[in-house]
């Protein structure tokens, strides 16, 4: 089996272009509400899939501490859903900030691409995605 090498530069260029497709503040808020609602409605399915992942992790001899980090609970999923709902209610952060005499400004957001490297805690991926949607950034998870 031949595997082509992953071209990170090309992937990041495509991701950067995709940030131009992000919607308005209202669309971002609707997306965040939809994310939160989907986590609430799909709670049983999410927990069931997580149980299967944990079984595979144990078969792979993943340390018990890491398995505990990987374990989703109803509270963790509900917290992630709640964060998405709160982000939706916040509105977009300002894009520019002018100094007192209006002679210059600095751009506050978006950053463009946010890289998020994490070992476990799958609920954090949803929270990071919500933060990036709210701030108009693309997210790369590893």
- pLDDT tens for the 142 residues of the chain, in order: 456 677 888 888 888 777 777 778 899 999 999 999 999 999 999 999 999 999 999 999 999 999 999 999 999 999 999 999 999 999 777 766 666 666 666 666 677 888 898 878 999 999 999 999 998 888 888 8
Cβ-contact 77, 103 below 8 angstroms? no
Here the CATH number for the domain that contains residue 120 is 3.40.605.10
> Would residue 81 count as lying in a domain?
yes
If one counts the domains in the chain, the total is: 1
> Would residue 111 count as lying in a domain?
yes
> Would residue 8 count as lying in a domain?
no
Full residue range of the structural domain in which residue 31 is found: 24-141
Q: Which residue has the tokens 């999923």?
A: 77
> Would residue 19 count as lying in a domain?
no
> Would residue 17 count as lying in a domain?
no
**In angstroms, rounded to a whole number, what is the distance separating the alpha carbons of residues 39 and 45?**
9
Residue 103 is predicted with a pLDDT of: 66
**In angstroms, rounded to a whole number, what is the distance separating the alpha carbons of residues 115 and 112?**
10
Residue 12 is predicted with a pLDDT of: 83
Tokens of residue 128, six digits: 């990071």
> Would residue 3 count as lying in a domain?
no
């Amino acid at each position: 089996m031949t595997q082509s090498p992953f071209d990170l530069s090309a992937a990041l260029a495509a991701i950067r272009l995709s940030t131009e497709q992000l919607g308005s503040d209202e669309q971002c808020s609707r997306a965040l509400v939809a994310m939160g609602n989907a986590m609430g409605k799909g709670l049983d399915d999410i927990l069931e899939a997580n149980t299967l992942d944990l079984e595979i992790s144990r078969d792979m001899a993943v340390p018990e501490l890491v398995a505990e980090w990987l374990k989703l609970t109803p509270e963790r999923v509900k917290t992630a859903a709640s964060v998405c709902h709160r982000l939706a209610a916040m509105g977009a952060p300002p894009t520019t900030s002018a100094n007192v005499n209006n002679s210059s400004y600095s751009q506050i957001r978006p950053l463009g691409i946010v890289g998020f490297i994490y070992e476990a805690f799958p609920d954090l991926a949803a929270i990071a995605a919500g933060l990036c949607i709210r701030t108009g950034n693309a997210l790369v998870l590893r």
